[in-house]
Amino acid sequence: MRITFNRSGNFLELSDGWSTTANRANEFDIPRDRVSEATLQQIRDFLRDARKGLEKENDAPPSFILVAPATDGIRVYGGDDQVRYELLELLDEDEDRISLTLSVDYALVKTRENFEERLTDYFTRRGVDALLVRFCGPAESIELRVALPLNWTVLQCAAFSDTLAMLLQSDRLNLKTPSGAYALVSAGAPVMVLGEAESEWLEVKRENYGIAVESQKYEFACDVASFANSDQGGLIVIGISSAKDDSGNDVLTRVTPCKRGSLNIQRYMQILQDRVIPAVEGLRIDVVPIGAGDIMAIYVPPQPEEIKPFIVKGAVIGPKVSGSFLSIPHRRGSDKWAMSPEAVHSMLVAARAVLRGVGAGGTPEM
């Protein structure tokens, strides 16, 4: 992805041919998904170039506006059907940095002290600086301006904004969903999910998978693939203990952080790249410092039906994992199960029928 400023026409141009012209305020309006993989450093370099090209025509410094629909029921700029604007711009006092400005409506946080108490640790761990926190009415909204790390992508900015909104609107945070629980855990508040039971979308591990062992690599890949094959995705948290309750459910009871530095995101990602087909879209893995140790949150968003099922290379044959086989893991409650050969055959027959244009009654569709 390349973002360039066309000096002859004063417009923004992407490497895929898409372009847009600055408005009267020197703002470039662009959908978020057009530049989801672009880094803030790329945007900074573009804005520097655009500022030089536009400063003689208009005193307003050029800005870069990202537009995206509100997600997960988060209300930003009023209403689930409205778009949310996230403004990225050069800091006037320091053109080496990029700031993000956004507004969160219906926030429960009412004072600067309460804001800092809730979010200081979340910002510090992500290298984010709060430049402006302004409380507005009548929608009880908060306007925020923050400086972000330049190695972040636009997609990471979006995830940050989504999590930030959920944390500030905690009465709207649904702990009964993978995204809601992930928001709390990744923000350093895993204690808020204690008391929940493992389920079709939630699984916890007291300690590291032990991914030096083939069987544990396979188990981790199956856990992720089983969530990817479900309707609502899922969340795996490493560093939380569970215990059986009177009904036999595994209930989250205690945060048990792993040894600092023992959870390696790259190694876990590599396992999934090597073993899960196709790649899981939107997967997020966070290592979160808790006290003297770390916990890991692996969030699997709901996946498009057209790319399912997710297949894991290998299968357990006796005491070993054999790479000559494959598995299609699913979840039933908090348990995993492999798709039966009969189910696989039915799926293949149905797919072939669709490819041939055969209807449900067995006759060719016109």
Q: What is the pLDDT of residues 257-291, one digit of tens each?
A: 999 999 999 999 999 999 999 999 989 999 998 88
Q: Could you tell me the residue ranges of all domains in the chain?
A: 1-173, 193-366
What does the pLDDT average to over 131-150? 87
**Does the pLDDT at position 109 exceed 90?**
no
Tell me how far apart the alpha carbons of residues 339 and 331 are, in angstroms, rounded to a whole number.
10
pLDDT at 68: 52
Tokens of 162: 């989504």
Six-digit token string for 211: 């991914």
Is there a cis peptide before residue 69, judged by omega within 30 degrees of 0?
no
Q: What's the confidence (pLDDT) of residue 80?
A: 38
pLDDT computed for residue 75 by the predictor: 28
Say if residue 71's pLDDT is above 50: no
> Model confidence over 147-196: pLDDT tens digits?
999 988 887 787 788 778 778 877 666 778 898 899 889 888 888 788 88
Q: What percent of the chain has pLDDT over 90?
A: 30
For position 358, what pLDDT does the model report? 57
User: Does residue 141 surpass a pLDDT of 70?
Assistant: yes
- Can you give the pLDDT at residue 363? 54
For residue 335, the cross-strand partners are 332
How much is the pLDDT for 72? 33
pLDDT value at residue 222: 92
Indicate yes or no: pTM above 0.75: no
Answer yes or no: is pLDDT of 339 > 90.
no
Q: Which residues contact 82 (CB under 8 A, 6 or more apart)?
A: 70, 76
What is the model's pLDDT at position 348?
A: 67
182-241 residue pLDDT tens: 988 988 888 878 888 999 999 999 999 988 888 889 899 999 999 999 999 999 999 999
93 vs 152, higher pLDDT? 152
Q: Which residues of 85-109 are buried (b: 16+ CB within 10 A; e: fewer)?
A: bbebbbeeeeeebbbbbbbbbbbeb
Answer yes or no: are the C-beta atoms of 209 and 238 closer than 8 Å: yes
Q: Residue 83 pLDDT more than 50?
A: no
What is the band of 353 on the pLDDT scale with cuts at 50, 70, 90?
confident
Q: How far apart are the first and last CA of the chain?
A: 42
Of 31, 61, 149, 27, which Cα lies nearest the Cα of 98? 149
Round the average pLDDT of the chain to a whole number and report it. 81
| Banded model confidence at residue 79, pLDDT cuts 50, 70, 90 | very low
Taking 90 as the threshold, does the pLDDT of residue 355 lie above it? no
Segment among 113-117, 179-183, 294-298, 317-321 with least mean pLDDT: 317-321
Residue 299: partners with Cβ closer than 8 Å, 6 or more residues away: 178, 179, 182, 186, 233, 235, 283, 284, 285, 286
**pLDDT for position 323:** 55
Task: Look at residues 298, 181, 174 and name the one whose alpha carbon lies nearest to residue 228.
Answer: 298
Whether domain 193-366 has CATH 3.30.950: the reply is: yes
More confident residue, 32 or 347: 32
Mean pLDDT (whole number) for 76-80: 34
pLDDT bracket for residue 246 (50, 70, 90): confident
Decide which of 342 and 197 is more confident: 197
**For position 267, what pLDDT does the model report?**
95
- Average pLDDT (314-327) is 62
The three state secondary structure string of the chain is CCEEEECCCCEEEECCCCEEECCCCCEEEEEHHHCCCCEHHHHHHHHHHHHHHHCCCCCCCCEEEEEEECCCCCCCCCCCCCEEEEEEEEECCEEEEEEEEEEECCCCCCCHHHHHHHHHHHHHHCCCEEEEEEEECCCCEEEEEEEECCCCEHHHHHHHHHHHHHHHCHHHCCCCCHHHHHHHHHCCCHHHHCCCECCCCEEEECCCCCCCCHHHHHHHHHHHHHHHCCCCCEEEEECEEEEECCCCCEEEEEECCEECCCCCHHHHHHHHHHHEECCCCCCEEEEEEECCEEEEEEEECCCCHHHCCCEEEEEEECCEEEEEEEECEEEECCEEEECCHHHHHHHHHHHHHHHHCECCCCCECC
Q: Does residue 124 surpass a pLDDT of 70?
A: yes
Report residue 356 as tokens.
């041939």
The C-alpha atoms of residue 14 and residue 24 are separated, in whole angstroms, by: 21
In angstroms, the CA 136 to CA 227 distance is 40
